[in-house]
Amino acid sequence: MQEVDRLGWVVTVPLRAGNYVLGVRANTSAVGDLVRDVFADRVVEEANPPGNISVLLAPVAAEGPQELHRVYLTYARMLRTRSVRRVLEAMWHFLDAYDRQAAADSLQVVATVFLAGGRAHLLPADERKQLVDEERQWNREGFVLVDRAALGLDLDDMTVTIPECGLEWTDEMNARVAALGLDDRPAGVRSKPGTYPIASWTAAANARTVAARVVNAGGQVVDLPDHGGVRLVRRLAEVLRDMPQSSRMIHDPVTFRSDIET
């Protein structure tokens, strides 16, 4: 049994996401009701999917340390925060990424993405768990984690795009969160929607050659029919030849910056 399965999930809410119905597990029935109401237009009644997304929203601690809210995609921890709003907006982005893949109107790159100085830095998706745990350290060094599992990729300009969040946050939402007794604080540093040039792309720790980098980076791209795999490979080979990468899986922002600026 995985660690996330031991956290005591009470209810699963089935939500439509692109071509799939995903199960969103919640740690209490009240949190499940909140998820159901916020994403009411996605609820698929009578469906019984497995727990693909897990949402733990923590109540205000009466004493001792305050537990953080957490979001998991399958078994990977995607977010730790004290902001309920950030959790729900991150969920909107995770679900929206599936919608955009189903629409087949753009390439999507599945990666852990940091923004710094108006540019994007791409790392492997499976690095996110470790980086989430050290997010404040990265923030202090000027890196902002993007709360999205897949971003639109423009091969010509080599940019990624973060769309506007379609979830409207209202005073009623604030009141409901307070009524549930959930810990809720300002989210702090957040990524902003927009289009960002890719400044570095680290697809694997030991990708020493251009060919290895292309293979690993290509594996992160959801290649849609209108874009062609041959064009993708050629374009990646062209740009990755000179694009900075980290030579290892970095969990330290200072070392990472040194690697990509060398």
Q: For 127-181, what is each residue's pLDDT tens digit? A: 888 888 889 999 999 999 999 989 999 989 999 999 999 999 999 999 999 999 9
Which strands form 76-81's sheet, in the order they lie side by side? Answer: 11-17, 20-26, 51-56, 69-73, 76-81
Q: In the structure, what pLDDT confidence band is assigned to residue 187 with cuts at 50, 70 and 90?
A: confident
- Segment 231-246, tens digit of pLDDT: 888 999 999 999 998 8
Which of 39-48, 73-82, 250-259 ranks highest by mean pLDDT? 39-48
Show me where the domains of the chain are located: 3-261
Q: What is the pLDDT of residue 75?
A: 83
**Helix ranges, the chain (H):** 29-38, 84-103, 128-133, 135-140, 171-179, 210-218, 229-240, 253-261
The distance in angstroms from the start CA to the end CA of the chain is: 42
- How high is the mean pLDDT of the chain? 89
Dump pLDDT digits (tens) for 133-144: 889 999 999 999
Check residue 224 and give its pLDDT: 58
β-strands 51-56, 20-26 pairing: parallel
